[in-house]
Amino acid sequence: MNDEQVPASRLPAMGQVDLKAGSPESEELMHALVQEGDRPEEVYERFNNFAELLMRYSTAIREVRTKFEVLNDEFSFRNSRNPIESISSRVKRPMSIVGKLRRRGLPLTVESIEQYLNDVAGVRVICSFIDDIYAVAEMFARQDDITVLEIKDYIRKPKPNGYRSYHMIVEIPVFFSDGKRPMRVEIQLRTVAMDFWASLEHQMKYKKNSADRPEISAELKSCAETIAATDARMLGIRKRIERLEKDRTDAESPVRDR
Ligand code: 0O2
């Protein structure tokens, strides 16, 4: 690692949601949570339960990030290189949660969030090479407090639009004052190159009318394929260098077969 790189362990952005009383976001949420015939204290209670749940998700994110940071430190100690370039995370915005529940016709309760939404807590792990994604994901999933609920491997089977990433939905136990709770977290692992494509494609999705044109979709897909081929070539180069290094150290080793 060169000196300018920020190690994954020191990256900020824990993705806390600010639900302070009076903030525009909390006002909007409060309105969304009002049901007909509610007394004010009932709305406040619902709001507090919602805010507490988001706090719990942000602690789950911290636990998951720490696990990846530990794996990155250990791997780089053994192999003299970082498999993880960066980690980012976010708790889904309260109104995005409300929107998703409404679209699915689900009640706006903490119970339905916990039961039906997998992506309230999200962690994105950006890896250097494709094989790092599988190595890091496997080391993480093997830990005995992690339960993997679902895997979507959009690297081996990319989405029709060209999107590539490795997704895991996991449950991790978090210890609170009232006991241990399993918390669900969505983890996305991708290479720097896959992240470049996904970030730009995500931005362009918001300009829906034009981005949906077939020639633009085809161009985006073609870019995704070029990127995938480049990722594969970069991995090939790294493996060749590793082989050359190994041959060199074997040749220099004082202990040789006679
Ligand atoms: P955001 O704004 O990133 O949160 P589910 O989450 O299970 O209801 P789905 O689509 O079955 O929905 O899950 P999937 O396929 O695992 O995708 C979840 C997330 O992956 C998305 O979250 C995106 O972050 C990312 N993703 C999936 N497909 C694409 C894609 O085609 N392009 C890009 N740029 N990102 C994608 P959200 O909630 O859609 O968005």
CATH code: domain of residue 119: 3.30.460.10
In a domain? residue 200: no
Q: Number of structural domains, the chain?
A: 1
Q: What is the mean pLDDT of residues 75-89?
A: 92
Helix (H, G, I), strand (E, B) or coil at 83: coil
Burial profile 233-242: b = 16 or more Cβ within 10 angstroms, e = fewer: ebbeeeeeee
Does ligand 1 lie within 6 Å of residue 198's CB atom?
yes
Annotated catalytic residue 186:
yes
**Residue 43 pLDDT level (bands cut at 50, 70, 90):** confident
In a domain? residue 154: yes
Amino acid at position 208, single letter: K
In a domain? residue 205: no
Greater model confidence, 112 or 80: 112
Q: What is the mean pLDDT of residues 35-60?
A: 87
Taking the whole predicted model, whether its pTM rises above 0.85 is answered as yes
In a domain? residue 251: no
Q: Do strands 166-176 and 84-91 pair parallel, antiparallel, or not at all (unpaired)?
A: unpaired
Q: Above 80 in pLDDT, residue 236?
A: yes
Q: What is the mean pLDDT of residues 37-49?
A: 82
Count CB neighbours of 224 within 10 A.
Answer: 21
To which residue do tokens 């991995």 refer?
235
Q: Above 50 in pLDDT, residue 14?
A: no
What does the pLDDT read at residue 4? 38
Q: What is the mean pLDDT of residues 147-176?
A: 97
Residue 188 alpha carbon, nearest atom of ligand 1: 20
Does ligand 1 lie within 6 Å of residue 128's CB atom?
no
In a domain? residue 244: no
Residue 202 alpha carbon, nearest atom of ligand 1: 34
In a domain? residue 198: no
Greater model confidence, 255 or 39: 39
What does the pLDDT read at residue 120? 97
Helix (H, G, I), strand (E, B) or coil at 238: helix
Residue 90 alpha carbon, nearest atom of ligand 1: 4
| Interval between CA 10 and ligand 1 midpoint (Å) | 27
| Interval between CA 97 and ligand 1 midpoint (Å) | 14
Tens of pLDDT, residue by residue over 175-230, are 999 999 999 999 999 999 999 999 999 988 766 676 678 888 899 999 999 999 99
Greater model confidence, 34 or 126: 126
**Residue 162 pLDDT level (bands cut at 50, 70, 90):** very high
Question: 118 φ, ψ to 5°?
Answer: -100, -15
In a domain? residue 242: no
In a domain? residue 228: no
- For 232, counting Cβ atoms within 10 Å of its Cβ (0-12 exposed, 13-18 middle, 19+ buried), the class is exposed
Residues in the chain: 258
What does the pLDDT read at residue 2? 37
The whole domain housing 141 covers 8-193
Q: Above 80 in pLDDT, residue 248?
A: yes
To which residue do tokens 């000196």 refer?
3
Euclidean distance between CA atoms 124 and 251, whole angstroms: 41
